[in-house]
Structure 1
């Protein structure tokens, strides 16, 4: 989802290479994200070759933003806790 957040739409292979995952792994993750309405999948052809494109849905962008915000809060809380423990070590 982070990869897709940087573009309007990406070809399946570009996502696969950019995320360094196997075709099988990306296919499974894409199916789960599509069923959760976090991504949209579009299939078509370039010439006679079949292609698949992925893009984040509005719900997917919101979910990613919320998830990243939660991770930042966890990291900030952990850093604050670590600083308080570090400052009490000398006591």
Structure 2
């Protein structure tokens, strides 16, 4: 495993959600769903994984059709996302390949 790559965040849909949350104080379920272009059930699954890892916090207001769900990144999520991005940058900036690999 490459140091610093977080397997929870690395999933493309979760990485995209974290990128959105890193640039906003919070985002609604609807906003995330529409911008990620995924189904309600898929977004729910991805955000549940991030929430279980302690990277996002979910707030629900109201019930049923009139209810809303909002997500925000936690302090642990901010740290994990920053570390993940740093690891990706190091990888993309030319981390040396093992001998014999091209």
| TM-score w.r.t. length of structure 1 | 0.79
When Rg is computed on C-alpha atoms for both structures, the one with the higher figure is: 1
Unmatched segments (≥5 aa) in structure 2: 1-17, 98-102
- Aligned partners of 2:40, 2:84: CA distance in 1, in Å? 25
Unmatched segments (≥5 aa) in structure 1: 82-91
More strand by share: 1
* SS of equivalent to 1:77: coil
With a CA cutoff of 8 Å and minimum separation of 6, indicate the structure with the bigger relative contact order.
2
Question: Any conservation in 2 of the 1:34–1:40 contact (CA below 8 Å)?
Answer: yes
Runs of 4 or more consecutive aligned structure 1 residues displaced over 3 Å after TM superposition: none
